[in-house]
Structure formats: C-alpha cells, structure tokens
Structure 1
Amino acid sequence: MNAEDARDTSLEGRLSRPGVRLESVGNGIARVSWSAELQAQGFEAASAAVRDEVAAALDELKQARVEALVDPDDLLGTRIATWAGLQREGVMRGALEQDGELRDRVVFARLRTDAPIHKSRGFRALLNSFLPRKRAIAQMLVRDAEGRVLLCNLTYKQDWDLPGGVVEVNEAPHVAVAREVEEELGLDLTPGGLVLTDWLPPWSGWDDAVCLVFDGGVHEASLAERIVPQAREIRTARFCTLQEVHSLCADFTARRIDSALANLDSGGSSYSESGRPR
C-alpha cells in the first residue's frame, strides 16, 4: 500500500512513524496507510509500526475509528493490517480509481471501544474477523405416505429444490429450516434429525456452501393443499415421485435427495459432496 510520509494537516502535531501516514476521513475517523518501502521490510516490522500508529491515533488523538484499505491481492498488506490489530470488515467494491478503473479494497478497522488484542476477547474478535466463513443452507426432506418428496419450483432458477434456505448469522440450522419452510410455504413443520451433510462446490456465481438436510417426516398428501407459496421466491410446491425428482431437479440436487432418502432407510446420516457419498 503506497503512502506519503507526510501527516495530513488535520492530524498534525505529532511525528508519524517513518513510512506510515495517518489522515482524517471523517469526524473522529482516521485512515492509516503505509509506504511500499516499509512493507518491503517485512510484515513484523511494518505491522509493529502500523500498530503503534493505530494505538496512538486511538489513545492520544482520541480518534473513534482507524481504518485501512488494502488491495485484495496484497497478501502481505493483509498480514500487516491483521497483525496491527485491525479487524477485517469486508470488501468495498470500486473503492478507488486506479489506471482509469475502479478497484476493490478490503476494509480493515479498529475502534477505540474494541477489546485490547493482548486480551483473549480482543484476540478472538480479531481472529473471528478474518477466518473463513462458509455459507450454510438448511433444507427439509418432507415425504408423503406414497414416498413422494415435497419439492419447490423456485422463481430465481429453473430447476426445483427441497424447501429450505440460507442459515442466518448466529442462527441454528434446525431453527433456520423451520423458519424458511414457514416463511416460504406457510407450513409449521418441526424438523427431525439430520440425515445428510452435503458440501456444494462453487457453482454458477455462488461460493461453496454446506447443505444440511433435516428429516421433515411423513405426512398426508393433503399437506400440499395447505401450502401458501411466498410469491417472491416460490412459484409452486408439490409432492413429486422419485422419477420427477430426477426430471425436475439439477443433477446434484437429485443426488442429494437420493443420498438423504438412503440414509432415512438405513437410519443413519452421512457426508456427501454434490450428493455423492464420500
């Protein structure tokens, strides 16, 4: 990350660490950056200099927030920001114009109210901010007495799928699947045990995800008559034969359903990848 060594006039009054620049970008908000020369010294030296500057900005200059914008491809810059105690907050798309193009930047920041990083709570928060987070999807396998499976015709894709959806942050998967079924179909169903854990690789613009399939039990076919589809996401929903499952669903969804049904028959649970048992 390139930076001028001179201090922004709004924060002048104290000497900046060599190679580190601090500028005001708002009321009580400062942005820290560092020179290529400092970064070339390695992440330990650079992160120590940036960490000291961040601490001074928060403690001495009474800034409420210190942030840094790092090129997503700059792995060393990412390490420097992290070891300086800045928590990763996300990606700001088109944050800067460079060579006539808008470029993304990863936003790192530290607040004056953040727990000290030498304390366990502060260190855990720092780790939590940049460790990988995987999307979780919870689905329900609902059957009728004839062995048919409840499928949804979704508005945002052509193929059919099991009822369910994305697990929200800090939401238990079994709570998520019951919520999704109630929101999207108007059905109050209590999920049973987990019958399949299926990993989905990156596909068609989606990142990878873990799909958890819960047993939705066996119901009368008349259950389908009580369905009230959420118009924004569900065109219709109905019980389908296994032949229809393979006709209406994407191949990996059909494999997932096959694996889940096999586990129900055996009374167990298993792990698969795109529906293929491992």
Structure 2
Amino acid sequence: MTVPEQPTLTDGVVTLRRWTLEDVEEAVAGHDEVIAHWFGWPVDGVTPERMSQAIERWHTAYAEDRSEVAFAVEAEGKLVGSVDLRRRDDGVGELSWLLFQGQRGRGFATRAVRMLADFALSEDRQGGLGYWRVEAKVEPDNQASLRVATRSGLRREGLRRIEQGHGDRDETASYVVLARLVSDPPLSEPESFRSLLNSFLPRKRAIGQLLVRDTAGRVLLCQLTYKRDWDLPGGVVEVGESPRLAVGREIEEELALEIDAGGLVLTDWLPPWGGWDDAVCLVFDGGVHDASILDAMVTQPREIRTAEFCTLDQVEERCADFTARRIRAALAAVESGVPGYTESGR
C-alpha cells in the first residue's frame, strides 16, 4: 500500500504540519514541569537527542503504515505544541496532545485535537486515516485536558480503573475515557452539541418510593435482603424511565402488588454514603388501603424478605435514622397537603 505524504492541516488559526529536526531546540525549550507531571517523565527528561529520536520515529511510523501520526502545532507563526494519534486497534486511534510553556489557555489545543480527529475519521481514499473511532484517556484531575477533549467533540464514556501493576504505569491510576465516532453527527449540528454536553454533565441517581398506609395509620415497610434495616417500597429509577412509573413497576416486581402512585409528597436528597454517590429520593403517595392487601403479596426473594404495615414506633426501631426521618417528613407532607423537601430526612 502506498502511504500518502503527510499533509498540512489548518483551520485558519492553528496549523498542523510535519515535524522537522529544525524544531528540536524550540520543542525542548517548551517542555516544563506541567508537561512532565501529566506525562509521567522527569522535568529534564526531554533532551535534544530524545526529541530528535522521537521525530525520526514519527517519520518512520507514518511512512510505513501510519500507525503513529504526529503533528507539530503552529499558531501565530510559532511552534506551540504537539498532537499525535497512535493506532490501538483496527480502525481505532488514541489521541495525545500537549502545549508548550506560555501557550496554554488560548484554545490552540482544542483546535489541534479537533483537526486531527477530523483527519483520522476521514475516509482513507480522501487522504484521511479512515478510522471509525478516536479516543483519549485523561486523568480525572487534569481538568484542562478534559475541557480540551470535550470541546474537540469527544464524548465522555466513563472511568477506566487500573490496578497497581496491571496498567501502563506502576501506580494505581484511573482514566476518563472520551471518544468520537465516525457516525457521530457533525459538531456544527445542535444534536451533536447536546449529546456532547449530555456525556459529561453531572448525573444524579433517582430513587422512587411509595408511602402506603393502612386504615390504622401504619406505614408499609419492606425488610430487604441486602441490608439489615427496613425501608419504604420502591427502587432505583431506570434510565429514561418516569420516577412515578418506576415506583409502580418496583412494587409489582418486588411485592406482586398493583398500587398506583399518586402525587409527589417528598423530595429527599441523600448525601454520599457507604460507597454510594449522592441521590435524589422521590416519595409518592400510595394512598390508604386495608391491611388485607398484603394477603396477595408475593415477595421477590432476591431483594425482599418480607413486608409489613408498621407503627411509627416500629419505624424508629427497624429503619435507619435517615429513613425514619424521611418517613416522618413524608407523613407530615401528606397531612399538610404541601409537598416537602428534605436533605437526609431533615
């Protein structure tokens, strides 16, 4: 296969061009402790000899099979950094970039990464690499690089955990994985921008619960298999699911009861606890029923040991303190007719 000559790419502000040995001195001078920190090498680890070797390696890799494609980044007539792409799998490349001392925070990296991603995802017969996916692995604390990646059109996919001795580095590390696919809409389209925001904006877990009482004023509680204390019936809201409908689904799945969820009576924010991230618990009104409705109950044995109508004294005895506070707050909201808001039941 004939490999096309490495092109020069530009968006009118930033230019990506082939590295030359004339760039060595300027590149070495631009490396500093910020670059050394994020790439994991000594501050004085980039020498003229090593930089020259890297350029020769890039030239060879491009000429042979384009398994590694590296560009010098120019802006305002100066060498400001580097951007490269290494083939990881068939049709998949991993992006890396850096800006030299004094050149950060001016948008050069975003432009460079976007242009290289466009080049990688372009069809091979048009001179591009013909990849179907480009990705980047960024440390969670590297906020500047996370901004560059997302502004370049890479969607956040998740956190990859690496155990000590089993990753690219010796120490335990985690990487945020961000990627762009050839099938993603163009960055100029509103759908693409919304999908990009959706990939990295914060998300909270939602929990739906049902406040069901009997004619004696007792509250329906479930004894769970995965924790010692009791709780209101309900569960986690699935992706794309209505919280109100989720409650009805959970009651039917776990207790084989059909109880319609009424209006929202309480919103309770749950802070991080015991390995869980924070969450929002939405308590809906399950109405007042005769205690005999439990005669038809069939518990889901994997999650529910049993369920009973309990007095407030039993609520205090059987529930965690924050659950008991939530139940009292929900009952007060039902009595007042005004939906309440609490944080950990307070």
TM-score (norm 2): 0.75
**Higher relative contact order (CA closer than 8 Å, sequence separation 6+):** 1
Contact 2:315 2:324 in 1 (8 A): yes
Whether 1:235 aligns to 2:305 is yes
Mark the runs of 5 or more structure 2 residues left unpaired by the alignment: 1-37, 41-53, 74-81, 123-127
Other-structure match for 2:223: 153
1:76-225 matches, within 5 Å, as 76-94=144-162, 97=167, 99-225=169-295
CA distance in 2, matches of 1:186, 1:16: 62
Relative to 1, partners in 2 of residues 1:274 and 1:43: Cα closer, same or farther, differing over 3 Å? farther
AA of the residue aligned to 1:53: L
Other-structure match for 2:139: 71
CA distance in 1, matches of 2:332, 2:340: 10
AA of the residue aligned to 1:68: A
TM-score (norm 1): 0.93
Whether 1:11 aligns to 2:66 is yes
Other-structure match for 1:21: 84
AA of the residue aligned to 2:174: D
Whether 1:248 aligns to 2:312 is no
Aligned alpha-carbon RMSD (Å): 2.1
Relative to 1, partners in 2 of residues 1:222 and 1:99: Cα closer, same or farther, differing over 3 Å? same
Match of 1:47 among 104, 110, 120: 110
Contact 2:95 2:134 in 1 (8 A): yes
Alpha-carbon deviation of 1:233? 0.9
Q: Return the index of the structure with the highest Cα Rg.
A: 2
Alpha-carbon deviation of 1:42? 2.9
Relative to 1, partners in 2 of residues 1:128 and 1:43: Cα closer, same or farther, differing over 3 Å? farther
AA of the residue aligned to 1:166: V
Mark the runs of 5 or more structure 1 residues left unpaired by the alignment: none
Alpha-carbon deviation of 1:35? 3.2
CA distance in 2, matches of 1:212, 1:186: 21
Give the % identical residues. Answer: 54
What is the SS of the residue equivalent to 1:11? coil
Contact 2:68 2:85 in 1 (8 A): no
Tell me the alpha carbon deviations over residues 46-84 of structure 1, each in whole angstroms, 9 at most, x when there is no partner.
111111111110122221110000011111111111111
What is the SS of the residue equivalent to 2:71? coil
Match of 1:61 among 112, 126, 129: 129
Alpha-carbon deviation of 1:40? 6.0
CA distance in 1, matches of 2:207, 2:116: 42
Alpha-carbon deviation of 1:39? 10
AA of the residue aligned to 2:322: F
Other-structure match for 1:2: 39
Q: Would you say how many aligned residue pairs link Structure 1 and Structure 2? A: 276
AA of the residue aligned to 2:71: S
Alpha-carbon deviation of 1:12? 5.3
CA distance in 2, matches of 1:39, 1:233: 57
